[in-house]
Chain A
């Protein structure tokens, strides 16, 4: 009972603080919105391409232009390259070289930076050239060989774009960050003598430790609930198929983070240093766990690292629950990892917590 009173008091103090309110409710929404918009899947913008033909035969220029027009690209045929416009230059002798199977290099005059749109355009041009070499015209009837989209027979949703990615990522990041930073509260309470005063009250150390843990855990859960709700209401996120599994997993995640935060609080005397280290740790682990960018684009070493850090343990099952409707069995190993993290850090924090 005393533990609960301590927890609720701690919670009340935190929720009365404007900075805490900002980082609990407003900050995550700002990040989520910003990165959700930034990485939102957009319909492809209309592509325009100028073609400058120096080849006497003109066959390559015309077949490539036909194929690209068929792909929806707006083609203009010019006599020279205009600075600032994307232009394909077909060199003299290209038609003969293609027919003879010798080397043909076409130049794509483009912007300063290599972009995805440019890569896509280069791919389409190469495809058009290959079609030209094979004598395949865009208007020819489709051949027997085809590719059809399918799924794995489970309810799967696109996870990588827009809010469907940013909301769960920043939920995990901010819960982790805030609960780690909350450890600085322990250092501050010790420095201000609040813990000493609490120590002489008729409550056991176990009750104090449990109360401190619970207040942080409640805080984590308030933020999780807020992000789940905001994700659904503001961003239309489809949360997990097995709601209770997600609930249970996030509960364990919040508990482990709260305990880790408390452990941080017992490591430092100076609350500023504790806060700095907590921020540094969270900023270090967030990208390593794949919260800032999709883990698919990093090398194999960092992919392996993502399996070893708590942020990765959280993101992998949350993604699996959201994208594939993963259930308790798939989530269990990660839940176990958080249970162990909680047990270890809670024991260490309880032993190390000094009232003075």
Chain B
């Protein structure tokens, strides 16, 4: 009973002065907001932001003028690109430096003539070194265009060769020759009729569950993937802050004064544990409710969520109680706590969901306490798995929680006796 009174007392202190806790809670919410602002439009539309490709026309010919249309004329890539003509390379470089363009396509002087002569006609491609994905997409499109262009050229090769031969001979073509060239183009036209098939070709992805449930499936799915990691990150910082309050109670003599009252050290310890665990669990669930209200995350399988939340709250509380059990002052506790939180956040996939990690890091992430809890939340919230299906990760979370609780009890008791 006394433990409950002590825990309530600690909790009321937080309620009376919630400033710092609110700031710490703002961190995951702000990060979720920024991540949505950054990637939300992409998620909602299923498309990347338009990729800007610069075009420098040094040929000033009919064919060169058609180059921007390669990117914007139609088809599935119509809204993927936007093009901008630049007068020279310096202008392109200025836009590259501002990170305002993905690539530059240069149509060199003599491009059209080379193509008509059947010589090698090169489009020059300069990617912006500040960018990764967008230049790759632009280059892929160019390679596709090259394939189609060469395919068309191949079909019309015979009549083009006849024209060149006539041009080189320097004489006027006869009516039969003109008719033959025309027939050649007519035949080529018939052969490339297959080009209309290009617009009708599609490759669709079929996923095991029969539907897409990845991070980009919908805004709700996006948040269901990223929000648990941020909540866990926030809870770890709140846990550190609560632990430091308890430590200051000790260093400022408050614990000693309570010890004068008819309360055993074990009760005092139990009160602190209860306060931390209940406080963190309430905060974690509050954040989940905020996530549901603000980011429209569907809170599926509540018993699973409660069990994961409880497991992680026990772990986080025990971790910081263990830290204040070994730390002499709040500086030292802050140093150890921050270091551990940082390493756990990196390895557990707080900033980038562990599902996106390379294999070896992903395996590490899923055995970390925060990584297991985060993935268990994702399994339930994003993939709709039940408690039984997510049991391995829930088990990992609870195994860490119980191990850390044991360590915290030993260390805190030793400190209390000292």
A: residues with CB less than 8 A from B are 17-19, 22-23, 27, 30-31, 34, 38, 83, 88, 97-114, 116, 118, 122-123, 125-127, 129-131, 133-136, 140, 142-154, 156-161, 270, 272-273, 276-277, 279-280, 283-284, 287-288, 290, 292-303, 316, 319-320, 323-324, 326, 330
Contacts and interface: CB of A to CB of B under 8 A. Distances in A.
Given A152-B104, A293-B38, A144 B147 contact: no
Nearest to A321: B97
Interface residues on B, range: 35 or more
Interface in B71-97: 89, 92-93, 96-97
A147 B123 contact: yes
Contacts of B48: 297
B339 interface: yes
A83 B99 contact: no
A284 B34 contact: yes
Q: Is the interface of B mostly helix, strand, loop or mixed?
A: helix
B197 A22 contact: no
Nearest to B37: A302
B361 interface: yes
Contacts of A320: 97
A323 B201 contact: no
Contacts of B41: 299
Contacts of A270: 19-20
10 contacts: A19-B335, A98-B201, A136-B154, A149-B127, A150-B106, A159-B130, A270-B19, A287-B34, A287-B35, A299-B37
A133 B197 contact: yes
Interface in B296-336: 331-332, 334-335
B195 interface: yes
3 nearest CB pairs, A to B: A143-B150, A134-B151, A19-B335
B126 A150 contact: yes
Interface stretch (B3-11, B179-187, B206-214, B282-290): B206-214
Contacts of B192: 134
Given A152-B89, A160-B131, A147 B146 contact: yes
B132 interface: yes
Interface in B342-391: 342-343, 346, 351-352, 355, 357-358, 361, 383
A38 to B, nearest CB: 7
Contacts of A102: 197, 200
A133 B197 CA distance: 7
Interface stretch (B135-143, B167-175, B260-268): B135-143
Nearest to A18: B335
B132 A294 contact: yes
A146 B120 contact: yes
A130 B42 contact: no
Contacts of B20: 270, 272-273, 276
B216 interface: yes
Contact of B121 (A144, A149, A303, A316): A144
Contacts of B334: 19
A227 B134 CA distance: 29
B257 interface: no
B205 A114 contact: yes
Contacts of B142: 147
Given A130-B151, A145-B115, A296-B133, 8 more contacts: A23-B338, A144-B115, A147-B143, A152-B126, A154-B93, A294-B131, A295-B99, A319-B99
Contact of A324 (B27, B97, B196, B241): B97
B178 interface: no
Contact of A110 (B27, B144, B200, B207): B207
A136 B198 CA distance: 13
